[in-house]
Chains A and B, each alone.
Chain A
Amino acid sequence: MSRSLRLAAVALLPLLGSCVSFTYERHVVFEPVSDAAVGTLVVGESDVGTALERLGAPIYVWEGVDGAVVLGYGFENQREIGINVSVPLIDNGNASFDYDDVAKRLEGYILVFDRDLKLHIVRKGLLRDLALATRTRPAFED
């Protein structure tokens, strides 16, 4: 290997890290609720107190439609593989292209209680999607 080639390799190494990088990340957020514990809740019988006792504190509490109370339980365990490429265009700026596959979503259960706080509906899935169907707007926005 010629001397100039070796020098070029040394000079490029520190730069390479800032131009191209590969990342493997895992994000764990909270702990999953037990399917078995959710299964012990009975629609029309179990109330909010029973749910709190068996499942613990929810992540979210929302006001539902017609005085309903909605509890959201969930967790996230997402892995992401990413390639970040940064290409200098002019002296005082650069353009970054981010190919990260980001999917940060909490999944779990939504429990809907009626105005008497009796369990009405149980749904499993992504909290973001489930919340749209059950959540009502705060009164001050109406």
Chain B
Amino acid sequence: MARERDIGYQGVMKSLPILLCLTVLTTPSCFISKNTANEPLQARRMDTLKPGVSKASDVADTLGAPNEVVQLGKRMAWRYDFSAAKTAGFTILIVTLVNQDTRADRAWLFFDEAGVLQYAGRTLQAENAEYAMPWQDIHE
């Protein structure tokens, strides 16, 4: 009886390397992650700002501090943005597939020499970011 138990133990130990190999080969890993920067832009707040009427101080009160200020001679432009990046990856042994999709909400507000809002433009695409594999077309 004890001898049979020994043979069983030895059999398991003998096949352990093969079992480990099979485990490694059959356990690929995948991962996803999402990174965001800044706060999402709020279209309703931006709609309250009127070109020709709103001043830079009104914009600051409504939207807060901009992410970037560009001086354009005596004029200036302010940028507000929010970005979202979704990353999906797949690894098996030494091969790794990764896709990163980054989209952004972005608004630029242009002020004249007197600091009055002249033009405003926005693009809201952050919510279009997708988890995908590198071969998938995600711009359709």
Tell me which residues across on chain A come within 8 A of B102, comparing CB atoms.
27-30
Which of the 9-residue segments A5-13, A38-46, A88-96, A118-126 touches chain B?
A: A5-13
The answer to whether A28 touches B138, judged by C-beta atoms less than 8 angstroms apart, is: yes
Does residue A128 face the partner (Cβ distance < 8 Å to B)? no
How many residues on chain A are close to B (CB under 8 Å)?
42
Residue of B nearest to A23 (CB): B96
Given the interface contacts A20-B94, A23-B98, does A30 sit within 8 Å of B122 by beta carbon? no
User: Chain A interface secondary structure, helix, strand, loop or mixed?
Assistant: mixed
Is the CB–CB distance between A27 and B73 below 8 Å? no
Question: Please, which residues of chain A bring their CB within 8 A of the CB of B101?
Answer: 28
Interface size class of B (residues with CB under 8 A): 35 or more
Number of A-B contacts (CB under 8 A): 112
* A31 to B119 Cα, complex, angstroms: 22
Of the candidates B20, B75, B97, B121, the one having the most CB atoms from chain A within 10 angstroms of its own CB is: B121
**Chain B, Cβ-Cβ closest to A82:** B96
Q: List 23 A-B contacts (CB under 8 A).
A: A3-B17, A7-B17, A10-B20, A22-B96, A26-B99, A27-B100, A30-B104, A30-B125, A31-B125, A48-B110, A49-B118, A52-B119, A52-B120, A55-B121, A56-B106, A57-B106, A57-B121, A61-B77, A62-B70, A63-B70, A63-B73, A77-B139, A79-B134
